[in-house]
């Protein structure tokens, strides 16, 4: 019995994960997006399911394939759709890990017809999207809430301020300055920062291994 519990330390836990980019429509044929592949979030979803968790993955557009068939995949396109899908699941889950590269801005209005080209400049008016992670932080009750931070400068400082501002239990800092890190490739280099501002730096490794490091840390913190 104990042995099985050790092998499946997340058995009985419900985990919600977000992954990938979001696409914000400009007109019927164009959007604002970003280079997130979704890999990091899909690896976390697979790894969590392998550790016995019941996993729901809310994903923006991505070509990545899930390996563990037990993961429930909810596909969304825009930040607004991701917000709605995530909040729908939140109440009943134990752990939320938000790795998606959500667009911070979207066109204020979506043109109903394809925008034709003219001479001179085209100006797009953008409005803020809702911060999904911050909204879950505000609603947090029993949940263990994990966010990501993508930074290019003042990395640790910025990540710590996001951790606090969004009421997180853990933040995964992705520094784009590190070689082998980032949201496009197959490897990543992260630093975990917990609620007490303690830093746990990891080396560059495949995203599947990074996923396991993150989950092991969460398991330890839940047991503590």
Q: Is 147 one of the binding residues for ligand CTP (CB under 6 A)?
A: yes
* 46 marked as part of a ligand binding site: no
Q: Report how far apart, in Å, the C-alpha atoms of 203 and of each of 38, 131, 180, 191 are.
A: 20, 29, 10, 9
105/202 with CB nearer Ca ion: 105
Options 6-14, 70-78, 129-137, 188-196: segment touching ligand CTP (CB under 6 A): 129-137
Give the DSSP per-residue string, 165-216: HTT-SEEEEEETTSTT-SSSSSEE-EEEEETT--EEE---EEHHHHHHHHHH
User: Is 34 noted as a catalytic residue in this protein?
Assistant: yes
Q: How far is the CB of 106 from ligand CTP (least distance, A)?
A: 10
* 128 marked as part of a ligand binding site: no
Q: Is 79 one of the binding residues for ligand CTP (CB under 6 A)?
A: yes
Angle formed at CA 95 by CA 86 and CA 78, multiple of 5 degrees: 20
Kindly give the pairing relationship between strand 30-32 and strand 105-107: unpaired
Q: Is 71 one of the binding residues for ligand CTP (CB under 6 A)?
A: no
CB hemisphere CA count around 204 (13 angstroms): 11
Q: How far is the CB of 147 from Ca ion (least distance, A)?
A: 11
Catalytic residue among 2, 6, 34, 177: 34
Distance CA 198, CA 28 (A): 46
* 88 marked as part of a ligand binding site: no
How many residues belong to the chain? Answer: 224
9/181 with CB nearer ligand CTP: 181
Residues taking part in catalysis? 34
> Applying CB under 6 A, which residues contact ligand CTP?
18, 79, 98, 100, 102, 104, 129-133, 147-150, 162
Binding site per annotation, positions for CTP: 104, 114, 148, 162, 166
């Amino acid at each position: 019995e104990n042995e099985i519990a050790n092998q499946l330390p997340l058995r009985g836990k419900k985990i919600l994960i977000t992954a990938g980019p979001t696409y914000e429509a400009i007109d019927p044929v164009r959007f604002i997006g970003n280079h997130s592949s979704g890999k990091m979030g899909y690896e976390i979803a697979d790894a969590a399911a392998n550790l016995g968790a019941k996993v729901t993955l809310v994903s923006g557009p991505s070509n990545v394939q899930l390996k563990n068939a037990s993961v429930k995949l909810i596909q969304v396109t825009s930040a607004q759709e991701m917000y709605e899908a995530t909040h729908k699941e939140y109440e009943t889950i134990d752990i939320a890990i938000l790795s998606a590269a959500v667009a911070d801005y979207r066109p204020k209005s979506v043109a109903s017809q394809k925008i034709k080209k003219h001479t001179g400049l085209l100006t797009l008016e953008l409005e803020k999207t809702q911060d999904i992670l911050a909204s879950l932080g505000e609603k947090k009750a029993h949940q263990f809430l994990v966010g990501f931070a993508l930074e290019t400068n003042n990395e640790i400082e910025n990540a710590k301020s996001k951790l606090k501002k969004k009421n997180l239990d853990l933040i995964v800092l992705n520094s784009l300055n590190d070689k082998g890190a980032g949201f496009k490739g197959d490897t990543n280099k992260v630093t975990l920062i917990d609620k007490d501002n303690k830093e746990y730096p990891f080396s560059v490794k495949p995203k599947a291994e990074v996923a396991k490091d993150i989950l092991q840390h969460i398991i330890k913190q839940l047991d503590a």
